[in-house]
Structure 1
Amino acid sequence: MHAFEGRPLDGPRADPGPVSRSCAEVRARLGIVGDRYFNQAAHRNAAVTFLSAESLEPWGVDPLVARRNVVVRGFDVDSLARGTVFSLDSGDGPVRFEVGRPAHPCAWMDQVIAPGAFKGLRGRGGVRCVPLDDGVLRTGKSILVVVSA
């Protein structure tokens, strides 16, 4: 569970918050090892979320507050259509992902980012994806390639 449950006006519950990691182990069709949605049947088609760092620049906040699994810079993930397959290679070989549905922001964004963030992030909240390969993602310079659109 996470702190963003219930009503935003009540405020978030105590939570250690999202944690930045230097690497993440990805399992095909299951998600990221250790993630709260890993191998959860209801989330298998949306197990890994991607966000473009530029989406949060108007607010000047740490991308961790958006609670997406992977944050990329220099690529508009929101422009990817459902069914698009892309790969991300951060040095350990490419890991392919298939784009599912948008990762729409929730009303909590007005509380944890700033008033108006919920509305401002509509269409820029990232995408939910299915990992197609096992692999490792690391922070730092990576290569993102659209495999099929």
Structure 2
Amino acid sequence: MAFPFFGDDKSTIARLLSTLPQTGRIEWIGQRPVRREPLVAVLEAELKTDSHMLGDHARPKAGGKRQVTLIQHESLTAVSSFLGLDAPLDPGRLRRNLAVSGLNLLALKNRQIRIGEEVILDITGECHPCSRMEEVLGPGGYNAMRGQGGLTAHIAQGGIIRVGDVVRVLESATA
């Protein structure tokens, strides 16, 4: 007896990869006004099409793949657990712009998402931890973040985003 979602059929894998009916939520927005300084939590931010988040020091080039960064909100608890901490980490310590709950972010790679009513992001790749995690989180910080670093994105359509905005996966995949 064959099971409908098991087997070697590539179309089955493609169907599984494309099935993402869940929606997420923006839990936190952070900006880095100055390089190597702590992130500042904000309730809303403006993202400029093919550019950057206003208020963030980073000025990626047009067409860049790392114009904004996202982290899985649920990863805050996982990373703190790996470090032996009792409470979830503050998202700003992990140096990502957006914390998103309710969606498995790794499943969004090479997809488009809409945040709120205006903003569309092309999810471009994984945001691997850097050596600064040892400095920010202490010994073992880099390894605690491995697999939990989040994603990078290109701003396909800018606009205003707010904490609490819904995050939806768009049907069409990016190239």
Task: Please report the TM-score for the alignment, with normalisation by the length of structure 1.
Answer: 0.79
What residue in structure 1 maps to residue 92 of structure 2?
64
Which string of whole-angstrom CA distances, capped at 9 and with x for unpartnered residues, describes residues 70-100 of structure 1? 111222212322x2111111xxx23110011
Matched-pair identity in %: 27
**What does residue 49 of structure 2 align with?**
28
The residue that corresponds to 1:75 in the other structure is 103
Instruction: Tell me if structure 1 keeps the 8 A contact 2:50–2:63.
Output: no
Amino acid at match of 1:57: T
Q: Which has the larger radius of gyration?
A: 2
- Within 2, Cα distance between the matches of 1:32 and 1:77? 20
Contact 1:97 1:131 (8 Å CA) reproduced: yes
Gap regions ≥5 residues in structure 1: 4-14
Map 1:127-146 → 2, pairs under 5 A: 127-139=151-163, 141-146=164-169
Give the letter aligned to residue 99 of structure 2.
Answer: V
**CA 1:132–1:43 in structure 2 vs 1: closer, same or farther (change >3 Å)?**
closer
After TM superposition, give the deviation of residue 43 of structure 1 in Å.
Answer: 7.7
Q: Which runs of 5+ in 2 are unaligned?
A: 1-33, 81-87
Q: State the secondary structure of the residue aligned to 2:41.
A: coil
For residues 1-52 of structure 1, give each alpha carbon's deviation from its aligned partner in whole angstroms, at most 9, with x where no partner exists. 533xxxxxxxxxxx3x1100111101110121121223x3288221010111
For 2:51 and 2:113, the matched residues in 1 are separated by 17
Q: Which amino acid aligns with 1:87?
A: R
| TM-score, normalised relative to structure 2 | 0.68
The change in CA–CA distance for 1:29 and 1:132 in structure 2 (over 3 A counts) is same
| Separation of aligned partners in 2, 1:20 and 1:119 | 25
